[in-house]
């Protein structure tokens, strides 16, 4: 069994990479370079990871009090406590 965190990350990254690959293919065809496609995908993967983590943090804060346990990151629970104290 995979945790919600792992499933979410995989789904987000797959979707992001699929979009990136499509864009990369179009871009690479225009440039007629195979290396361009490889470089594009490498940078896209890094961006996907970063954006997935950011989105995860945002949604964790929004759904915090109800569903943060086991979601996104272990640190979500800590963020919840901090947010709850502030409010």
For the segment 17-65, what is each residue's pLDDT rounded down to a tens digit? 777 777 766 765 665 556 666 776 777 777 767 777 777 677 666 665 4
> With a threshold of 0.75, does the pTM exceed it?
no
Q: Which domain holds residue 27?
A: 4-86
Task: Kindly tell me the burial class for residue 72, based on how many C-beta atoms sit within 10 Å of its own C-beta (0-12, 13-18, 19 or more).
Answer: buried
Count of domains in the chain?
A: 1
């Amino acid at each position: 069994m995979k945790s919600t965190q792992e499933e979410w990350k995989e789904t987000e990254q797959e979707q992001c990479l699929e979009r990136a690959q499509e864009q990369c293919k179009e871009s690479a065809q225009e440039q007629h370079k195979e290396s361009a496609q490889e470089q594009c995908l490498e940078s896209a993967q890094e961006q996907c990871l970063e954006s997935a983590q950011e989105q995860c943090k945002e949604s964790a804060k929004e759904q915090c009090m109800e569903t943060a346990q086991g979601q996104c990151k272990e640190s979500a629970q800590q963020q919840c406590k901090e947010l709850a104290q502030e409010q």
